Structure 1
């Protein structure tokens, strides 16, 4: 069994009371983080949207810097409260990397707050300047897709009307306000380019092969929201071309955003959103997608490939569940059942996708 690292957060009682009093506040409060024998000054706040209402909170952790307005390293501690396995997010990012797509690093830790156990958490790398630097990628703009308006369309699925701003649904993580101009141009090109010109024009703005790998990742894991939010866009400053990355993938592998079961045939092999539809409408792109997903369904997205990973993680987490104050006895039993549920989902989803490959002709 692999031992998990223990992180300890120390927060002044008054600050902790304020944090708990307003769960929707994004104001950072001072804290100290102990990792091993080292203690770091940090600032923290709750993170997420609907998950803030849940009993077990998720955190954004930022390291403090002596330089004002300088980017600082940060990471996320996700409670994974609606996922009985606490593994789906991590498994998703593992799978994306396995198929050659960019994705954040993720690993489990055990958290204490002011000396009291707070439970199992998933530490997730932030997609930011440090993410790019770590991978030797050129600096660039990063946009977070934060709601359903990030559907690559001119029409808001929320209001069912033309968007007042093309960048609606996005938050700028790296860059200046004027850098939204690049995103506006991308969305304009997606929606205004005639189909006859689209294949030659879109490759000037989107890295097609990485996009198809991302699409396969979303289609296989069935992140229902993943097509119109729960992703990040990275614009390479040297090429001006965008790449797409996954984010928030706990509602996957057979469960939805509320932790309810999702059938293995819920999302079609073609996925959805305006950009995906336009790309797959091009024969050469669709042919390449067919080739790629055929290979991945034979190799990476199989029970044989993923079962050893799941087995290792379940064995690692099991002893820590009893120390998690948010896990009751019946939830420990549910944890054990998730192993077979995820494996069964992989087999059922693989079977469904294989049957539908012919539709990509």
Structure 2
């Protein structure tokens, strides 16, 4: 059955590590690391599959800082509605009353630490050459916002880009997790990356009431390339192909929303609530793939070989697992298919909350508790694609092999080398205003959190194999009143080793299950009925166990009184 699922993104807790080799500055280590010129060597180039033009990254200097200058102007332009910069910064969602993004007119320039300079982009420009708006989802309500700059056609391209994403990555005190990930992706075969750059942003607001405005320091951002037709072309891919950004996409054949563009009932807005369209609007290949995936009479091997590139698929999954990016089961990825192919490729997106971020959050916040399933294959069991794929033991074996291959590439030593190349420039901005007073933690935690990053892939690899021993998570349904009984049902779990499974069912007056109403253990089926209950608020849960004693909860959870309870569902008897 199709269930509407809430976002879930939390990883297993890990102990902090002592960095190997030349480590970043950390408590007890007072020597700040120096920039390194070491580069991550490229893995062996694939014979076929997804072949990106890696030369697009050749001029990037991974640890450098670029200085960007943004002048917000009042210039009259009938094509652009006037918005002040303060309106954008004050807004909780970056939108006006009609739900449209607030955009201010700007002059966009590049320069040095001293200001815009001759020979750099936009020097001498006195007229609007772009717009600025808030970007992101939860970050729009942040005191320090992320921004998107859109250059006008007449402005040309900055580094072959017109859409310039400026990400503050405020929850990440290190400010490097995003860039580290994409610097690794640059070197992986069967995978694209995105150009990234640390940038220092200065803003002069001519729409303010200040009669003598000056450039104001907005601190450190990471500029990340926008996946779109321009990006595809720059990377040697097909700009006329299909490109979708997953919003809430579990590879479910949602016929009410996913339709052909020429269907009289086609609703683009509804379609894009599942997947945003960034390329061709011909959805025939997407629908064909989803139809075949839904048809369980077609072996999953045939579906995978026909509609996906195996090397790309397993590389993307293994990289997510080793980097600790759990937030990729239903969104935070792109699907790309060139116009002359029937196959789909996964492209990476959004890694700022990876590399141990949620493990550290779990230590600081009682709300950020971690479910057993939130790592490895079980994390992806919400997806119709991934759950079908890994019911085949041969595919589990293939992912294991890819985990081993990538873990020999994403090493502590290489990660340390990249982190060293970032450290001096990043730390100087993090440890001063304006970023200093807006950090998610005390600044003295910066070096510690920086130091735990290199060991994350090795820890994630251990947890990946441990997780295969547990049954897969599942969803619980809403209880139904049937013939005077209250009937509770849930989905079947699955065990990768084929072990027998039983279910423990319980109802409680509280989400912590300290006051049990009723419970029964060892159920073989996926339903249980109880007599009509008195009016009130209750909580129920189901725990699945295999024959070896390994247990798993459902995907469901309850958040109450600043605490998260995994595998629990609330219901009201009226």
TM-score of the two chains, using structure 2 as the length reference: 0.55
Asked if the contact 1:143/1:170 (under 8 Å) is kept, the reply is yes
Count of aligned residue pairs for this structure pair: 345
Q: Displacement of 1:270 after TM fit?
A: 5.5
Q: Displacement of 1:79 after TM fit?
A: 0.4
Asked if the contact 1:219/1:271 (under 8 Å) is kept, the reply is no
Say whether 1:52 aligns with 2:140.
yes
Q: Displacement of 1:193 after TM fit?
A: 4.0
Greater shift after overlay, 37-46 or 18-27?
Answer: 18-27
Q: What CA distance in whole angstroms lies between the structure 2 residues aligned with 1:169 and 1:63?
A: 28
Counterpart residue number, 1:288: 398
What's the Cα RMSD here?
2.9
Q: Classify the secondary structure of the residue corresponding to 2:174.
A: coil
Counterpart residue number, 1:164: 256
Alignment of 1:1-361 (within 5 A): 1=35, 3-12=64-73, 15-22=84-91, 23-25=93-95, 26-36=101-111, 37=117, 38-39=121-122, 41-66=129-154, 73-100=162-189, 101-114=191-204, 115-139=215-239, 140-146=241-247, 149-154=248-253, 164-166=256-258, 167=271, 168-176=273-281, 179-196=282-299, 198-256=300-358, 259-260=361-362, 266-269=374-377, 271-272=379-380, 273-297=383-407, 299-328=408-437, 331-353=442-464
The runs of 5 or more residues in structure 1 that have no matched partner are 155-161
Q: Displacement of 1:65 after TM fit?
A: 0.7
Report which of the two structures shows the higher radius of gyration computed on alpha carbons: 2
Q: Displacement of 1:283 after TM fit?
A: 4.4
Greater shift after overlay, 73-82 or 132-141?
Answer: 132-141
- CA change 1:84–1:254 in 2 (3 A) is same
TM-score of the two chains, using structure 1 as the length reference: 0.85
Q: What CA distance in whole angstroms lies between the structure 2 residues aligned with 1:82 and 1:269?
A: 26
Greater shift after overlay, 180-189 or 348-357?
Answer: 348-357
Q: Classify the secondary structure of the residue corresponding to 1:174.
A: coil
Asked if the contact 1:89/1:248 (under 8 Å) is kept, the reply is yes
More helix by percentage = 1
Q: What CA distance in whole angstroms lies between the structure 2 residues aligned with 1:245 and 1:314?
A: 27
Asked if the contact 1:294/1:354 (under 8 Å) is kept, the reply is no
The runs of 5 or more residues in structure 2 that have no matched partner are 1-34, 36-62, 75-82, 96-100, 112-116, 205-214, 259-270, 471-495, 498-574
Q: Classify the secondary structure of the residue corresponding to 2:398.
A: helix
- CA change 1:337–1:257 in 2 (3 A) is closer
Q: Displacement of 1:214 after TM fit?
A: 0.6
Q: What CA distance in whole angstroms lies between the structure 2 residues aligned with 1:195 and 1:185?
A: 13
- CA change 1:308–1:31 in 2 (3 A) is same
Q: What CA distance in whole angstroms lies between the structure 1 residues aligned with 2:237 and 2:64?
A: 32
Q: Classify the secondary structure of the residue corresponding to 1:349.
A: helix
